[in-house]
């Protein structure tokens, strides 16, 4: 048997976790890879509570796979373990208690997760034992806590003399395996010395040759090298020519990932590098290019942005580069306004929203830059109108623009927006979450939208995520055709058959949608596609095979899929597929099919309830059951279910319960696009009306 001394942190936490539970509370089992997000945890909890026959008010706690990564391969805790929860906060806190022996559970309050960490000790001066990794980590976390506002560089408090000495002592003999965090904490205060930097540089260059950014201290060291060898910050003399050449060789070896660091230490030499990186297509370098260009060439923001936009256009840069340029331009303008005006930082989003709307029609900017502004502004123009109307004269104090001028800018924006955005679309290479936030814009498709989506499908540069997004929209709206199948024929075997990890919340794997489309239009390739799905490998596709039954559905496919659903296997969109199949076969609205299950099915409630909301707009189904509760589109769908008199009382209650739990009601600061005050007032009034009824 393993002794207490030999047990890993993971063993100790699991042993304690097994003791938890009791009346009105469930501790979910430790996670597998399938529990990757917080919503996955809530779905697991719903399933466990339903299976155990516990009441709907049962509270629960869990951790997810992302949190689980804080345990290393040996089971050692390398950071705080985030314990998420649902139900009654006080009940969860009582059941978790203070934590297992040797550890502590920290309560972050009703709006946050609980945090579990080791209990460590400090010496009389408050310094940790350098040999205790947990104590060192906790100490550095405290130092690196970034204040939300203040005059200090980057918001980090100054070090005491004892703290600085302790950090410098750790760097006397460079050990890169542990030095990264010490370098970071010092350089966040511009405190790394020339001797330390030049001692670390050769070790970094040798140990991490060819992969310099793999070391966790690279940004701090690079920042120090640029600062010190440009004589910035502490009045130091420039280094000798040999050392300076070593520094710039390291900057060049890091490449575009170092653009942001160069932006913090602008120079002509740095400008040449970030310009080359940006013009070669690296979007991350564009913002740094603007920063450095303003610092060393052209301080006027509009003139600088126009100059860079002209260069990007001359080099046929992709739209993502122009988006990055406008984003950097807007951020810089907002930061400058906050700094110069002294207004509270909370006014930043208001100023940023106005920038997007204002510059969309500013004729000083090149057309493509105004298009990028319009893309950002289309979600924020309502916010500008609402803020200007609500605040009146106070709006000028917070943004530098009179309310009447802001409202006039909103009018100009709405007149020009359709023309600016015709034939454009979102960045298909952006993070899945950012792309998912644009889904609601396509509840209806214009001719220009259809043309753009078809062009992306036909473009062999469009990656898996972009294909999934575009093909799904065309298919769901019934405008996909043989042309899309033909366009993908040269790519399907070598590209589309690769694994693509998606949460399946809005769009499916493009192989699924392509197969459905080929079946619907009777394309000859359908037989080959089906043959691929029936092969034993690759294994990842097996869970998705049944999703292709939506193409050319029939009763035998429906029966086979229902049998799979009743088996209790993990649902990755299967119930949604069956509901849409039955709707097509029976000529019914999908929400009515889902409602029939609500009234008489043994399908899992936690999946079924989300399917009901996901299919309420049949031309825009929300796939799978992990629907985005931060999305205003999801809120509108929950409302639609609750207000649909053709649905049963049980179904309408599901919609109302989902709306009550939406972030628009509970945490509106996290909703995207950001709600206006009018949005919030209407939402609360709607809830009050339904609760009162």
Is the pLDDT confidence value at 84 over 90? Answer: yes
Helices 649-660 + 605-614 axis angle, to 10: 90
R_g of the chain, CA atoms, integer Å:
28
Q: Which two tokens stand for residue 642?
A: 């609750």
Contact by Cβ (8 Å): 313, 297: no
Please give the share of the chain, as a percent, with pLDDT higher than 90: 75
**Residues 652, 6: Cα–Cα separation, whole Å:** 55
The predicted pLDDT at position 568 comes to 80
Q: How confident is the model at residue 147 (pLDDT cuts 50, 70, 90)?
A: low
Q: Is the pLDDT of residue 592 over 50?
A: yes
Residue 602 pLDDT level (bands cut at 50, 70, 90): low
Q: How far apart are CA 603 and CA 350, in angstroms?
A: 45
pLDDT for 5 equals 54
Confidence band of 626 (pLDDT split at 50, 70, 90): low
Q: Taking all residues of the chain, what is their mean pLDDT, rounded to a whole number?
A: 91
Question: Please, which residues bridge with residue 438 across strands?
Answer: none
Contacts by 485-493 with C-beta closer than 8 Å and gap 24+? 485/514, 485/517, 485/518, 485/521, 485/523, 485/525, 487/457, 487/458, 488/457, 488/514, 489/525, 490/460, 491/460, 492/525, 492/529
pLDDT in tens, 443-478: 899 999 999 999 999 999 999 999 999 999 999 999
Paired tokens of 462: 């469009």
Q: How large is the average pLDDT for residues 311-327?
A: 94
**Average confidence (pLDDT) over 261-274:** 94
- Look at residue 1 and tell me whether its pLDDT is greater than 60: no
The answer to whether residue 623 scores a pLDDT higher than 80 is: yes
Task: Mean pLDDT check: name the lowest of 257-266, 557-566, 635-644, 657-666.
Answer: 657-666
Tell me the C-alpha distance between 572 and 54, whole Å: 25
pTM: 0.83
Banded model confidence at residue 37, pLDDT cuts 50, 70, 90: confident
Partners of 115 in beta bridges: 82, 106
Model confidence band, residue 437 (pLDDT cutoffs 50, 70, 90):
confident
Least confident of 477-481, 631-635, 650-654: 631-635
Check pLDDT > 60 for residue 693: no
270, 262 in Cβ contact below 8 A? yes
Position 153 scores a pLDDT of: 41
| DSSP string for residues in 197-258 | HHHHHHHHHHHTTT-GGGSTTHHHHHHHHHHHTTT-SS-PPPPPHHHHHHHHHHHHHHGGGG
Report residue 44 CA to chain centroid gap.
Answer: 22
pLDDT of residue 55: 82
Distance CA 32, CA 64 (A): 8
For residues 132-141, average pLDDT: 94
Note the pLDDT tens digit of each residue in 390-403: 999 999 999 999 99
The first and second tokens of residue 372, run together, are 């990028």
Phi first, then psi, for residue 84 (nearest 5°) are: -90, 165
Residue 237 has pLDDT above 60, yes or no: no
According to DSSP, residue 631 is labeled: B
How many Å apart are CA 550 and CA 507, to the nearest integer? 14
Tokens of residue 244, six digits: 């300076």
Place of tokens 């609205």: 589
Cβ-based neighbour number of residue 570 at 10 Å: 7
Residue 504 has pLDDT above 70, yes or no: no
Torsion of CA 207, 213, 217, 221, to 10 degrees: 90
Please compute the mean of the pLDDT values over residues 96-106 and round it to a whole number: 96
Q: For residue 236, is pLDDT > 60?
A: no
Per-residue pLDDT, averaged over 140-169, amounts to 79
Contact yes or no for 684/664 (Cβ under 8 A): no
Return the DSSP state at 158: P
């Amino acid at each position: 048997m393993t002794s207490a001394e030999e047990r890993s942190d993971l063993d100790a936490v699991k042993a304690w976790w097994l003791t938890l539970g009791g009346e009105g509370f469930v501790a979910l089992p430790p996670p597998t890879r399938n529990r990757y997000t917080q919503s996955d945890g809530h779905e697991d909890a719903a399933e466990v509570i339903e299976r155990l026959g516990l009441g709907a008010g049962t509270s629960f706690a869990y951790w997810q796979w992302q949190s689980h990564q804080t345990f290393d391969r040996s089971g050692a805790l390398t950071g705080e373990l985030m314990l998420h929860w649902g139900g009654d906060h006080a009940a969860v806190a009582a059941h978790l208690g203070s934590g297992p022996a040797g550890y502590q559970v920290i309560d972050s309050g009703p709006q946050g997760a609980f945090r579990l960490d080791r209990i460590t000790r400090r010496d009389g001066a408050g310094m940790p034992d350098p040999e205790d990794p947990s104590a060192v980590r906790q100490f550095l976390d405290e130092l690196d806590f970034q204040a939300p506002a203040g005059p200090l560089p980057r918001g980090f408090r100054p070090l005491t003399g004892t703290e600085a000495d302790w950090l410098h002592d750790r760097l006397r003999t460079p050990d890169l395996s542990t030095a990264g965090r010490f370098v970071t904490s010092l350089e966040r205060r511009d405190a790394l010395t020339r001797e330390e930097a030049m001692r670390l540089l050769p070790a970094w260059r040798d140990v991490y040759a060819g992969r310099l950014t793999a070391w966790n201290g690279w940004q701090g060291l690079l920042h120090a090298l640029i600062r010190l060898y440009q004589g910035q910050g502490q009045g130091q003399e420039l280094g000798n020519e040999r050392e300076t050449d070593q520094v710039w060789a390291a900057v060049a070896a890091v490449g575009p990932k170092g653009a942001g660091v160069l932006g913090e230490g602008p120079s002509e030499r740095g400008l040449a590098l970030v310009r080359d990186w940006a013009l070669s297509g690296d979007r991350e370098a564009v913002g740094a290019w603007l920063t450095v260009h303003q610092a060393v060439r052209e301080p006027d923001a509009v003139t600088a942005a126009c100059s860079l936009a002209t260069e990007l256009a001359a080099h046929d840069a992709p739209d993502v580069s122009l988006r990055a340029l406008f984003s950097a331009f807007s951020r810089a303008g907002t930061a400058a306004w906050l700094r110069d005006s002294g207004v509270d930082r909370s006014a930043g989003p208001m100023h940023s929203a106005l920038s997007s709307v204002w510059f969309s029609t500013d004729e000083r900017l090149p057309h493509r830059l105004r298009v990028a502004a319009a893309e950002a502004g289309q979600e924020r123009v309502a916010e500008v109108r609402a803020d200007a109307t609500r605040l009146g004269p106070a709006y000028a104090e917070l943004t530098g623009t009179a309310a009447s001028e802001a409202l006039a800018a909103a009018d100009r924006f709405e007149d020009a927006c359709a023309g600016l955005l015709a034939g454009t679309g979102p960045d298909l290479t952006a993070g899945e979450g950012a792309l998912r936030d644009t889904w609601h814009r396509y509840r209806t498709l214009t001719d220009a939208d259809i043309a753009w989506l078809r062009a992306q499908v036909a473009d062999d540069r469009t990656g898996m995520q972009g294909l999934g997004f575009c093909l799904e929209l065309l298919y769901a709206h019934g405008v996909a055709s043989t042309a899309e199948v033909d366009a993908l024929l040269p790519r399907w075997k070598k590209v589309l058959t690769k694994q693509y990890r998606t949460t399946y919340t809005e769009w499916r794997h493009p192989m699924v949608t392509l197969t459905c489309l080929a079946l619907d239009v009777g394309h000859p390739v359908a037989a080959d596609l089906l043959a691929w799905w029936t092969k034993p490998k690759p294994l990842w596709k097996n869970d998705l095979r049944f999703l292709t039954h939506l193409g050319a559905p029939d009763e035998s496919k429906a029966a086979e899929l229902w049998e799979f659903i009743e088996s209790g296997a993990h649902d990755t969109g299967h119930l949604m597929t069956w509901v849409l199949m039955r709707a097509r076969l029976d000529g019914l609205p999908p929400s009515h099919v889902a409602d029939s299950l609500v009234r008489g099915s043994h399908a899992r409630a936690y999946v079924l309830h989300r399917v009901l909301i996901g299919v309420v707009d049949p031309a825009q189904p929300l796939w799978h059951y992990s629907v985005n509760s931060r999305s205003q589109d999801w809120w509108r769908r929950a409302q639609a279910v609750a207000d649909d008199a053709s649905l049963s009382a049980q179904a309408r209650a599901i919609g109302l319960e989902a709306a009550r739990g939406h972030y628009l009601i509970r945490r509106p600061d996290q909703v995207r696009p950001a709600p206006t005050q009018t949005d919030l007032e209407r939402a609360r009034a709607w809830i009050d009306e339904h609760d009162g009824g």
